[in-house]
């Protein structure tokens, strides 16, 4: 375990091999990295933008040829610098870090918001042969920000994709959590997987508890070391980088007083989650 962590934690440089525009604010970057190409759905990597910063990103895809992809939303300094990069430019990678989603058979419900859809799409690719049905609820502010809709529809051939937008420009005009009450009342699900804004995850957790359906959620916190040392990513007794980022229902119950409520900010002080 220690040897594995030491190898994965070494910074490797690589070059961006492909860039795809997914939406006005999201681009997918592909590059070669042997270690991260062995990642499982739910794991993340630390991507170094030389001279700028290093940021945590969920792995969107990894293949046997050593290719790795991440979907990145432009929100601040580091992500803007990455968005301005061209094919062939150098980046650095550490990882993969953290645990992964468990692969369950049966009737699966996935709920994803924004770039939180990325690790769920990776999981959907792996789970498709195990699942007897796959229902995907995805949400975004507007149609142009709904990610990976076509790919998801391909994986949901034994289920369905429910798309929601806050402005009503595509699918249902509501938050991604709104259709859940009806879905969970009408149909029995064996597992819920979710990733996205933490307020959304909290709502999914409350509904899963009410309907007694087990769930796993991938959480985001500020991350620096990614190996459980610095403490910037704590939630309750857990360090999200080391004990997560994927947490099950039992663990989420233990951090209920913080989930979707507060987290540590850049200065180490606790701040509300909005
Ligand atoms: C395990 C994990 C997986 C992630 N996966 C993805 C992904 O697949 N795609 C993606 O686009 N983003 C992902 N993120 C979030 C990403 O790391 C941040 O958006 C990025 O670090 C912002 O850096 P910045 O310098 O551009 O913005 P900053 O200037 O640092 O921040 C701009 C805004 O983004 C918020 N922000 C900064 N860091 C985080 C963070 N760690 N989590 C949530 N909000 C943050 C800040 O509060 C601020 O409002 C993930 C985060 C974690 C912890
Ligand atoms: S990022 Fe340092 S302990 Fe998690």
* Chain segment 113-126, per-residue pLDDT in tens: 999 999 999 999 88
CA–CA separation, 194 vs 168, rounded Å? Answer: 22
Q: Percentage of residues in the chain with pLDDT exceeding 70?
A: 97
- Residue 171's SS3 state is coil
Mean pLDDT of 134-152: 91
CA–CA separation, 104 vs 99, rounded Å? Answer: 15
101 φ/ψ sector (left φ>0, alpha ψ -120 to 50, else beta): beta
- Do 28 and 70 touch, CB atoms closer than 8 A? yes
Which of 53, 54, 219, 230 has most ligand 2 atoms within 8 Å of its beta carbon, as the pocket-test mutant?
Answer: 230
CA–CA separation, 243 vs 247, rounded Å? Answer: 8
Position 152 scores a pLDDT of 87
Task: Say whether pLDDT at 89 is over 90.
Answer: yes
Q: What is the number of the ligand 2 atom nearest to the C-alpha of 231? A: 3
Within 10 angstroms of residue 86's Cβ, the number of other Cβ atoms is 7
Ligand 1 contacts CB of residue 27 (under 6 A): no
CA–CA separation, 73 vs 201, rounded Å? Answer: 19
Ligand 2 contacts CB of residue 222 (under 6 A): no
Q: What is the rounded average pLDDT for all residues in the chain?
A: 94
Q: Token digits for 183? A: 């879905």
Helix (H) or strand (E) holding 274: none
Give the closest residue to 102 by CA, choosing from 256, 249, 254.
249
Which of 55, 228, 235, 238 has most ligand 2 atoms within 8 Å of its beta carbon, as the pocket-test mutant?
Answer: 228
CA of 222 to the centre of ligand 2 (A): 8
CA–CA separation, 109 vs 114, rounded Å? Answer: 17
pLDDT per residue as tens digits for the range 176-196: 999 999 999 999 999 999 999
Ligand 1 contacts CB of residue 226 (under 6 A): no
C-alpha torsion 151→155→157→162, nearest 10: -70
Give the closest residue to 123 by CA, choosing from 153, 102, 150.
102
Ligand 2 contacts CB of residue 239 (under 6 A): yes
CA–CA separation, 230 vs 239, rounded Å? Answer: 9
pLDDT per residue as tens digits for the range 7-28: 799 999 999 999 999 999 999 9
Ligand 2 contacts CB of residue 176 (under 6 A): no
- Residue 203's SS3 state is helix
- With tokens 């990145």, the residue in question is 72
Q: Following DSSP, what letter does each residue of 213-232 receive, concatenated?
A: --EEEE-----SSSSSSS-T
pLDDT per residue as tens digits for the range 208-256: 999 999 999 999 999 999 999 999 999 999 999 999 999 999 999 999 9
């Amino acid at each position: 375990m220690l040897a594995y962590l030491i190898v994965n934690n070494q910074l490797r440089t690589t070059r961006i091999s492909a860039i795809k525009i997914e939406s006005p604010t999201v681009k997918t970057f592909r590059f070669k990295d042997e270690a991260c190409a062995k990642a499982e759905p739910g794991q993340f990597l630390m991507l170094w933008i030389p001279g700028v910063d290093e940021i945590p990103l969920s792995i969107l895809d990894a293949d046997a040829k050593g290719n790795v992809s991440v979907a990145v939303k432009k929100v601040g300094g580091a992500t803007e610098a990455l968005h301005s990069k061209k094919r062939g430019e150098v980046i650095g990678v550490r990882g993969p870090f953290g645990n992964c989603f468990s692969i369950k058979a049966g009737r699966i419900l996935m709920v994803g918001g924004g770039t939180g859809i990325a690790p769920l799409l990776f999981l959907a690719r792996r789970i498709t042969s195990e699942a007897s049905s796959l229902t995907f609820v995805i949400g975004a502010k507007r149609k142009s920000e709904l990610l990976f809709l076509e790919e998801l529809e391909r994986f949901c051939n034994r289920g369905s994709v429910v798309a929601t937008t806050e402005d009503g420009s595509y699918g249902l005009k509501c938050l991604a959590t709104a259709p859940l009450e009806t879905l969970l009342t009408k149909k029995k699900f064996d597992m819920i997987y979710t990733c996205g804004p933490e307020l959304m995850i909290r709502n999914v957790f409350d509904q899963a508890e009410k309907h007694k359906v087990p769930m796993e959620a991938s959480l985001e916190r500020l991350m620096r070391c990614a190996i459980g040392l610095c403490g910037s990513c704590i939630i309750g007794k857990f360090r999200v980088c080391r004990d997560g980022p994927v947490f099950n229902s039992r663990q989420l119950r233990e951090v209920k007083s913080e989930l979707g409520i507060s987290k540590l900010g850049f200065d180490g002080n606790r701040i509300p989650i909005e």
